Structure 1
Amino acid sequence: MGSSAGRAQVHQVYIEGRPFKLDPAKSIGKGGEADVFGLDAQRVVKVWKSPEHPDFDGFPEEQQAAEARIELHQRKMREFPNALPAAVVAPLSLATDRTGARVLGYVMPLVAGSTSLMSLAEPARRAVTPSDWLLGVFRGLHHTLLGLHARSVVVGDFNDLNVLVTPGGEPRVIDCDSFQFGPYLCPVFTERFVDPLLCDAAASSPKPRRPFDSNADWYAFNVLLFQALLSVGPYGGVHRPKDPTRRVAHGARPLHRVTVFDADVQYPKPARPVAVLPDELLEHFRAVFERDQRGIFPRALLERTTFAACARCGLEHARLLCPGCARPTQLPPLAALAAAGSRVSSGVVTATEIFKTTGVIVHVALVDGALVVVHHEAGAYRREDGRVVMSGPFDPRLRFRVAGEDTWVARDTELVRLRDGASPQRLSVDATAMGPRFETHGAKCVWVDQGRLLSLAPSRFDEAATELIGDVLPNQTQFWLGSTFGAGFYRAGGLCRFFVFDVERKGINDGLKVPPLPGELVAASGAISETHAWLFLGLKHAGRLRHVCLVYSRRGELLATAEGEPGDGTFLGSLTGFSAVGGALFAPTDAGIVRLEIEAGGIKKAREFPDTEPYVDAASGLHASRQGIFVASRRTIVRLEMK
């Protein structure tokens, strides 16, 4: 066992002899094994969680692992190799106890304005990210991996959360404390990226039984590239063989090489068709994922592959002929509607095209029953009627909302209120890893600024009154807004609070019951009706991603919980696109819209709408109204009326 210093909850570290308090207000990130705090404008400090950290309460195996990890780092971090490739975010100095003898973490450069490879692969973000730009990222990552291996360093836990990409397309590899070198093996892994050749083939999910090696890094590189280009991993989709007894559990598919190329796998509709890739790249991927080919990724494939958008259908591909036009079955699910005109009726579902743009839709909402849209087209951001609210090129970092006559837009820590005929009103807003935190409903905007949850009533544009709702945690608070109340949470260090608040009153109820939520938060969303708040969290824990749904009442009672996995075919296979109405939730899936309700502390499927399948996929955005359900995709909004 370790010393008593390793057993105590850490509240302060010393950096170059100076004390630094681990204040949750300075937290900028929370991983499964460590917390990250802002040190100054250029540096952050990563501090490993001690066995006594609240995140490990009730998890004795993780408490033991935490102690072993800290003990290992006492030697490992003092022997960390130097002269690594520039893309590696390496330690600048160590964080220790007061004596300087015990290592508790390390200081590293802040990678400002970056985006994880996981986020870049999400269908909505992927739709506005050029494939050739992504190939440039991977050419840089290829160079970095070669450089690490030349120094006898193996990444080991090489995954889409520890590769960040700068706005200029340069990769940055973080979490280097888990790198493998010399006698120090990599102790952690991520199921979706671990080489199945290192795992027990009879297990229920991939777990390494042998040490990582350079081939394992190149295997993960292949998974990362496949996922980035297609918005689905090589083992994504749902395995649905004709004989149900042959079905392989979702988590075990890498061990049995059941890939998206398998005829019995239902390919996810939001993903890009595999046919957009050139044959030589497809054949390489099949050799890796089906026939266990290993070795350095052929750089020539990154150099030779180039993408272009089809002038007819807009599909981006790397072939001589557009695969979408050559094989219409691969077109998006709304192709049938576009071919038939603006209205199609099946007898059960009537679909009417409400809105279409040649650009990209960035925000959709219902305001007093009316559909409002912000889209980018012809060099400007425009409202649903085509009027320009802001000129300029498309910027994926911008976040839009609409409140009455106002269009709100934020990037980083600046929030701007736009209205025709008035000068922009500029405010400051807190930003988390998921972007600036502000929401609107009706004519009201609510946002977080320096840990204060604020609201802005419409009134007169130049004299609108800012009202304090309550105090939350700066730069770590997520929340969503409904017609009568809002709900959210904040997590930092050992702190975890969920809360609800009334839209029209001051005060926050942050004493909500919260089930154990171990792991790193990687995604979050919410859907709120007048009575229920449905909160969705993506958590990475013990090498696996899981999706969690928590349902709270307006008074803050925990009514129900549910759990799923990314891409598992259920309503929790994705974390976006939900619409809440009363006590029900409408969810988009590749099989159509599903209505969900609460039952005995769980969530049950109350009704399926299979006839909506041609117009919906798991990445669609739903907006339920009395007129029907509006379904938003990248360029189109369709109203579905179901009998």
Structure 2
Amino acid sequence: MNCEPVSSFTIQKRPKSPTISPFKITMAHTIYIQNQRYQLDAADLIQSGGEGMVFGLGNTAVKLYHHPTPAHQDKIRHWFAQPRQLPGEILAPCAPAFNKQGQIIGVQMPRLPAMSVPLKQLSLPNFWQQHALTTQQIVPLFQRLHQALSRLHQLQIVVGDLNETNLFFTPPGQSASQSFWIDVDSYQFGQFPCPVAMPAFLDPTLYHVTNFAERPYFTPLTDWYAFTVLLVKSLLQIHPYGGVHRQHKSLQARATAGVSILANDVTLPPRARPPETLSDDLLHHLHTTFDKGERRPFPPNLLQEYAQNLQSCPQCQLAYPGNRRGCPACSHPTPVPVQPSAAVSKTLLQVDGFIEAVFVQPNGRLLIIYRQGEQYRLVRAGIGGLLSEMVLFNGSVGYRFGTFTRPDGHDFLVVNPPHRPQLLVLDIYSSQPQQVTLLETAMFRNTAVFTTTPNHLYRISGGWIIRGSVQYGSYLEDPVGTAHRAQTQLFGSPFSNTVAGFHRIFAEHRFFTITPNGTERQLATALPPGSYIAEAAVVFAPNLIGVVQQLAENGRFHTHVQAFNQQGQWQQSWDLGEDGWETAVHQFASLKQPLPQPLPPSDKLHYHPAGWLIQQPQQLNFLAASK
């Protein structure tokens, strides 16, 4: 994939300078690409990481290093001095970016398509169910990844930091999935090292290395080790050294000892697929790689033969090799701890499809949106059971929803199509939905910014956070706060008409809350030195506001949660480790008030005056409050 021309501002020759200055954070940056001058500001930011910030520039992206060094300059010059015929999915640098002194401060590259998602999504069971993915669709994706990685190695390029966040793909639907490789400027080639490594994908033979920028440490074999980790995480929903072992507690300890998920004394979590869903040849390769420590290129025939012999279970639809006597999941289900009788949940709804959203209305009634194929349906229910059901519309995967209610109980549904700024407000009080208005809102990271509270819809327009409601038959709005262009995200409380969010200003996140009377308060958070925010969200409990941050430091990720009261005063914090993001976002209320039985991280918890609602992909359960 190549960079196509973008429109320029003014053309100017770049002057020469022998020294390099640190990249300073200002409100606008002037850069030069192929002697054309461009200006980037905070609204153009796509993502900020540990090494630099990525900005959008037309249909391309520009990565600017936080601290450009002579090593950056030398590596980029070497890259462009060696023409290569790269696979089309490699989003490689296509031009250096200079400052006005003529110093290389970054690179221009093709921009990721809006529909692409990180490969990490394949390790989440909910993602498979939401997109109705099958193993038969995903194995060809890994065959193409294998081909691309083999081609890179033929060109004497080693990825080095191959992981689930720098590989992207488009979920397969009507057409085959496409893959995209990013962070190519950090690849290892020539004498230039890959300076970073994510521990979960790092070959244990390199655990002793403390500074990957020192010299080239990675090899094609360390890439194939990381490729195999990605394959296991995607097809089995667990890391090769995941699960629980009584003696070796951490992932690194398990990897050092060679105790993988194939060991008999490792307990797998319920969300993991049985290893027997892979072929015997694949299992043998995993055993030699992760248990015996052998290293060799991943044989491509293993994927081809596996794909040719898959069959699907008629009961659970899980794919497994045709030579198995039966479905590994149905024949040997993973034991799930049984809840005490006093804490047994009641199933309110079970669907042949995917539950997209659950809303608890002020009167305790439930609104449930689920999708069956391409048809979206709305269900009204109470704790006692279903009340009514109606068809909403037909559409693709990815619609988002909100709901708000007038004080008299008249309710409205907000519908947002995927990757588009439109918000359709529907009156759903009668038997057939009626359009109230069609609005537009700002976008943040290719996603429309909107949220709802019990009585309001919030969106962003013209630099303002706008609060809307239906009064006297008309949709009326008023501004309640200021927004940063393309850099503000909103989250609504289901308990009150409080809205919260953050403004992203380059690498900084500023969290805030706006009370029902319009008072804005800052939620003061602090980052540990040397870390940056990879993801952020705001969540709510009945009397708390939670700021959830996925922090990255030296290639390691962990989830940090800070709780504030309604006045914006700090109350408590939790560190949930590497895999805590889903738990924090989906089950924040249970951190303060634990449930009788822990839930899988993918289960979404909703507070109800009479207890808890547990949203799973295909069913909604109710757990009564303990007396």
Q: When the two structures are superposed, what TM-score results if normalisation uses the length of structure 1? A: 0.82
Note if contact 1:270-1:618 (Cα within 8 Å) is conserved in structure 2: no
Partner of 2:504: 491
Q: Which moved further from structure 2: 281-290 or 350-359?
A: 281-290
Quickly say closer, same or farther: Cα 1:274–1:517, change in 2 above 3 A: farther
Note if contact 2:355-2:369 (Cα within 8 Å) is conserved in structure 1: yes
Aligned runs of 1:582-593 on 2, under 5 Å?
585-586=589-590
For 1:623 and 1:459, the matched residues in 2 are separated by: 28
Residue 110 of structure 1, CA deviation = 1.1
Residue 250 of structure 1, CA deviation = 4.0
Partner of 2:420: 413
For 1:486 and 1:15, the matched residues in 2 are separated by: 41
Structure 1 letter corresponding to 2:272: A
Partner of 2:8: none
Note if contact 1:623-1:630 (Cα within 8 Å) is conserved in structure 2: yes
Partner of 2:7: none
Structure 2 letter corresponding to 1:387: M
Question: What's the CA shift string for 1:154-185, capped at 9, x where partnerless?
Answer: 11111111111135511111101111111111
Structure 1 letter corresponding to 2:66: K
Partner of 1:38: 56
Partner of 1:533: 545
Quickly say closer, same or farther: Cα 1:123–1:208, change in 2 above 3 A: farther
For 2:462 and 2:123, the matched residues in 1 are separated by: 31
The question of 1:221 aligning with 2:202 is answered no
For 1:111 and 1:177, the matched residues in 2 are separated by: 15
Equivalent position SS for 1:293: coil
Partner of 2:375: 380
Equivalent position SS for 1:104: strand
The question of 1:166 aligning with 2:179 is answered no
Note if contact 1:88-1:176 (Cα within 8 Å) is conserved in structure 2: yes
The question of 1:139 aligning with 2:143 is answered yes
Equivalent position SS for 2:393: strand
Equivalent position SS for 2:189: coil
For 1:215 and 1:44, the matched residues in 2 are separated by: 31
The question of 1:625 aligning with 2:608 is answered yes
Equivalent position SS for 1:238: coil
Residue number among 453, 459, 463 corresponding to 1:447 in the alignment: 459
Partner of 1:326: 331
For 2:149 and 2:399, the matched residues in 1 are separated by: 32
Quickly say closer, same or farther: Cα 1:6–1:418, change in 2 above 3 A: same
For 1:121 and 1:527, the matched residues in 2 are separated by: 23
Equivalent position SS for 1:132: helix
CA RMSD of aligned residues (A): 3.0
Note if contact 1:628-1:639 (Cα within 8 Å) is conserved in structure 2: yes
Question: What's the CA shift string for 1:540-595, capped at 9, x where partnerless?
Answer: 3211111111212222223333223234xxx667443215xxxxx21xxxxxxxxx
Equivalent position SS for 1:269: coil
Residue number among 25, 30, 37 corresponding to 1:12 in the alignment: 30
Residue 330 of structure 1, CA deviation = 3.0
For 1:206 and 1:578, the matched residues in 2 are separated by: 37
Structure 1 letter corresponding to 2:282: L
Equivalent position SS for 2:113: coil
Partner of 1:582: none
Question: What's the CA shift string for 1:319-359, capped at 9, x where partnerless?
Answer: 442123222x338x59x8xxxxxxxx944223211111011
Structure 2 letter corresponding to 1:474: R
Partner of 2:240: 234
Q: Which moved further from structure 2: 410-419 or 172-181?
A: 410-419
Report how many aligned residue pairs link the two structures: 574
Q: Which moved further from structure 2: 484-493 or 509-518?
A: 509-518
For 2:449 and 2:530, the matched residues in 1 are separated by: 23
The question of 1:351 aligning with 2:352 is answered no
What are structure 2's unaligned runs of at least 5 residues? 1-16, 380-387, 406-410
Question: What's the CA shift string for 1:284-320, capped at 9, x where partnerless?
Answer: 2222111123222221222222444422234343444
Aligned runs of 1:197-276 on 2, under 5 Å?
197-200=205-208, 211-239=217-245, 241=246, 246-276=247-277
For 1:551 and 1:617, the matched residues in 2 are separated by: 22
Residue number among 352, 355, 363 corresponding to 2:357 in the alignment: 363
Residue 78 of structure 1, CA deviation = 4.1
Question: What's the CA shift string for 1:196-221, capped at 9, x where partnerless?
Answer: 122239x9x99999700000111111
Note if contact 1:191-1:206 (Cα within 8 Å) is conserved in structure 2: no
Note if contact 1:198-1:208 (Cα within 8 Å) is conserved in structure 2: no
Residue 39 of structure 1, CA deviation = 0.8
Residue 364 of structure 1, CA deviation = 1.5
Question: What's the CA shift string for 1:359-378, capped at 9, x where partnerless?
Answer: 11111121222222111125
For 2:514 and 2:117, the matched residues in 1 are separated by: 31
Structure 1 letter corresponding to 2:375: A
The question of 1:288 aligning with 2:299 is answered no
Equivalent position SS for 1:457: strand
Quickly say closer, same or farther: Cα 1:520–1:8, change in 2 above 3 A: closer
Q: Which moved further from structure 2: 404-413 or 72-81?
A: 72-81
Quickly say closer, same or farther: Cα 1:407–1:94, change in 2 above 3 A: same
For 1:286 and 1:429, the matched residues in 2 are separated by: 51
Equivalent position SS for 1:294: coil
Note if contact 2:561-2:584 (Cα within 8 Å) is conserved in structure 1: no
Question: What's the CA shift string for 1:592-630, capped at 9, x where partnerless?
Answer: xxxx33xxxxxxxx6562xx35xx322211112222211
Partner of 2:42: 24
For 1:524 and 1:496, the matched residues in 2 are separated by: 9
Equivalent position SS for 1:565: coil
Q: Percent identity over the alignment?
A: 25
Note if contact 2:404-2:413 (Cα within 8 Å) is conserved in structure 1: yes
Residue number among 48, 60, 70 corresponding to 2:65 in the alignment: 48
Aligned runs of 1:594-633 on 2, under 5 Å?
596-597=591-592, 609=596, 612=597, 616-633=599-616
Structure 1 letter corresponding to 2:98: T
Structure 2 letter corresponding to 1:155: V
